């Protein structure tokens, strides 16, 4: 699927200082963080290694190159990074083929943003092949732009994915609200200068300037996101 940018006439936030909403995917909109860990555990079990559950907090939310690289080093598994990436992507695709649960509040938020014509982008560290599969559950019509981790030179925690998304939508990163579930994603969004809503999935995230932490996506709506701009 090719990323697309909306026509200028659709870029409206109804006079609000909020110009766009940029959303993470895994663990934020879809309940898949557990899927990734299960696949990682299964792949490494096949290689003769057992993953320590404490490593889950290390690998969550990051690009596959980082998480897979960490697991290879931690286990000493005899496999290359490229070989492991193929196995993990294949395993994940098989998992989501059996059903993909959305996070509570995700469908409602996406529908509200679409109804008010708020430019919205999906910004993920997952590869394009994974994003395109997940989009069938989320609804590709909800996103003016999608950014995959293998489409930028540096992915999260670097700011590049969010800067790319803001540029693609023609908006100011400082006027974008980002919704993320991991410290890695939060770091990327903050480095890009965005206002961040953290909805922690696996590991806790502390509040900070330009960062609001909520327990569930059900607490996030358009009024809430517009109010964040006043905090900047």
Q: How confident is the model at residue 5 (pLDDT cuts 50, 70, 90)?
A: very low
The per-residue pLDDT for 214 is 97
Alpha-carbon Rg of the chain, whole angstroms? 17
The per-residue pLDDT for 3 is 41
Contact 89, 127 (CB under 8 A): yes
Each residue of 139-167: pLDDT tens digit?
Answer: 999 999 999 999 999 999 999 999 999 99
Q: What pTM was estimated for this model as a whole?
A: 0.77
Instruction: Report the relative pairing of strands 211-213 and 176-180 from DSSP bridges.
Output: unpaired
The torsion angle over the Cα atoms of residues 49, 85, 152 and 166, rounded to 10 degrees, is -70
Give me the chain's average pLDDT, please: 88
Each residue of 30-82: pLDDT tens digit?
Answer: 987 677 888 899 999 999 999 998 888 777 766 778 888 999 999 999 999 99
In this predicted structure, the answer to whether residue 2 has a pLDDT above a threshold of 90 is no
In this predicted structure, the answer to whether residue 6 has a pLDDT above a threshold of 60 is no
């Amino acid at each position: 699927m090719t990323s697309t940018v909306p026509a200028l006439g659709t870029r409206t936030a109804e006079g609000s200082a909020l110009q766009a909403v940029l959303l993470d995917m895994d663990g934020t909109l879809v309940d898949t963080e557990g899927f990734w860990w299960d696949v990682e555990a299964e792949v490494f079990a096949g290689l003769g290694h057992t993953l320590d559950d404490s490593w889950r907090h290390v690998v969550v939310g990051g690009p596959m190159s980082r998480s897979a690289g960490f697991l290879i080093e931690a286990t000493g598994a005899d496999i290359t990074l490229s070989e492991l990436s193929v196995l993990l992507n294949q395993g994940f695709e098989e998992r989501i083929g059996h059903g993909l649960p959305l996070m509570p509040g995700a469908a409602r938020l996406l529908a509200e943003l679409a109804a008010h014509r708020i430019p919205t982008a999906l910004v993920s560290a997952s590869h394009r092949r994974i994003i395109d599969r997940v989009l069938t559950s989320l609804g590709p019509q909800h996103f003016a732009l999608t950014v995959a981790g293998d489409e930028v030179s540096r992915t999260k925690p670097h700011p590049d994915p969010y800067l790319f998304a803001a540029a693609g939508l023609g908006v100011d990163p400082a006027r974008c609200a980002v919704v993320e579930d991991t410290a890695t994603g939060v770091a990327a969004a903050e480095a890009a200068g965005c206002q961040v809503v953290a909805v922690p999935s696996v590991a806790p995230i502390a509040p900070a300037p330009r960062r609001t932490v909520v327990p569930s996506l059900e607490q996030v709506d358009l009024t809430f996101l517009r109010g964040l701009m006043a905090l900047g």
